[in-house]
Amino acid sequence: MRNACIFLALLVTTLVQTLPAHGQQGRRPVPAENGMVVTSHHLASQVGVDILKAGGNAVDAAVATSFALAVVYPAAGNVGGGGFLMYHGADGDVTAFNFREKAPIAATVDMFVGPDGMPDSENRHVNLLSTGVPGTVAGMVLAHDRLGSLPWASLVEPAIRLARDGFPYSWDMRTTGDWLRGLAENDPVYDAAVAAFTKGDDGNYAPGERFRQPDLARTLERIRDGGHDGFYRGETARLVANFMERHGGLITEEDLARYEAQELTPVHGTYRGYDVYGMPPPSSGGIATVTMLNILEGFDLAGMGHNSAAYLHVVTEAMRRAFADRAQYVGDGDFNPDLPLSALTSKHHAARLRSTMDLLAASESDSSAFNGIHILESEETTHFSVVDAEGNTVSMTYTLEHGYGNKIVVEGAGFLLNNEMGDFNPVPGYTDREGNIGTEPNQVAPQKRMLSSMTPTILAKNGQPFMAIGSPGGRTIINTVVQIILNVVDHGMDVAEAVEAARIHHQWLPDRTSFESGISPDTRRLYEMMGHDVTERGRQGQAMGIVIDPETGIRWGAADSRSFDGRAIGY
């Protein structure tokens, strides 16, 4: 009887919600006939567009944009972190660049096990032991060497000017000085951060004041002049290694000198006639995205209606299964050669997973499947998308992990350090229903890259780029990207409507779904009647997307309004 009532309620809701979905009224995508750059800070978007106007291609613009974000968006833009870049050329060339951070040579498998046998949060997320060997500079150098067209120095120069000459301090950064001073009261390791982000004895910066970063400008000058070695050898490397030695960190000059980025073959899938390209491990984003889309391809999602209870149910069940696979199998490919990538992204695997779904009742996430420990990924990452005049497309996500990383600036170098080591599984052999997850593929090892949820993604149609999308948000990134793809492909939304629409998140464990505001109470009640546990959340991600109209070639860009300073700029 209960199932019959649920079915009737779902039928009524689905009929009502088959009306066209419009997203937020008043939001419109930005059009451009030539190039488009969409980032979390308007100054970085402008830098990218200026490079395109000067004859640069999408990779040139991405390099310049990434360094500009390191200056104007220090919460996540960086030279001290790492990430991933997806590329799809107008000529059909598709490739991926992995510049995820690495564990230092001195790292050990039990370095984050506390005296009580549980994770040591201080070492994992706060102090210098949390810092992985940075990869961003190496990634930009490799991408430029492979695909860039303009001289390297010209791509770093705009960021140098922003750091040296300054820019208006953002309202989004208005509390930075206060909490950095609070940290420095108890630990001198934060003194350089206070010097970089405040006016010292003259107080904190106010929104609109000109904010200059001279030490960062000099670091960028060394990168401009020396490329890879301008960061990983010489003066910058010595500054990092000496700072680490003074304050108890592990990274040495040898760690930096040995770091190299990688060019990898993207994860590839198909969805309703579109090619889907995503990052391979150590990102879990490509595998999980393709798995979910393969599962959902078996349902009439448009007929269910956008964000109806029936729709959210099947999307949740796809999320649940993809995240269970992620936890069990995925880690750095260099350390996990037997990872079954082809099997996990196959249509056959998706059909088997789909067959385990009940269309009227939630599944139960089984925490006894294997043992591990929960990895809490920060939501303070940044993503940007670029399309140039030829149609070459870049989707890039990079991060420091937490906002401002571990809040530690290298003295004399002016840049923030990441706390990405916290993305490793710190304590093998423990799991619970509240989300404590972890497996052998992602345990700490020297020179290993930690697992990530970053999901820069490109969709193509008939060999031509169609959509570039990605978002920050820790583990929510994957689900944000998948829902935006569904909004465009299944529900016919333009890119701005797709980005603005309310989102949900489920990650297998803990076994509950978070809802953004904007999903109706009636839908939530029906969804809960199916056995789902729902919590409310604030914003989920800050997606930056571009869709290329296959008929007209017009680039439509959208910067998520969840981003304080984000903007899509085209020409």
Q: Annotated active-site positions, please?
A: 381
Closest CA to 8 of 309, 433, 397, 240: 309
Among 561, 468, 399, 455, which Cα is nearest to 36's? Answer: 468
Amino acid in the structure at residue 271: Y
Q: What is the DSSP letter of 125?
A: I
Residues 6 or more apart whose CB falls under 8 angstroms from that of 470 comprise: 383, 384, 385, 395, 396, 397, 454, 455, 456, 457, 477, 481, 543, 544, 545
Q: Where are the alpha helices (DSSP H) in 407-544?
A: 476-489, 495-500, 521-529
Q: Which two tokens stand for residue 509?
A: 């464990």
* Cis, peptide link before residue 188, omega less than 30° from 0: no
Q: Measure the CA–CA gap between 192 and 409, rounded to whole angstroms.
A: 6
Q: Are 462 and 88 in contact (CB under 8 A)?
A: no
User: Starting at the edge strand that comes first in sequence, how are the strands of the sheet with 504-505 ordered?
Assistant: 504-505, 513-515, 534-536
Place of tokens 């498998």: 109
Number of residues written out for the chain: 571
Which of 283, 330, 272, 291 has the alpha carbon at shortest distance from 456? Answer: 283
Cα 95 from Cα 85, distance rounded (Å): 9
Contact 219, 206 (CB under 8 A): no
Joined together, the tokens standing for residue 466 give: 């169609």
The answer to whether 264 and 96 are in contact (CB under 8 A) is: yes
| Residue 223 near residue 183 (C-beta atoms within 8 A) | no
DSSP one-letter code for 173: G
User: CB-side exposure of 306: number of CA atoms within 13 Å?
Assistant: 22
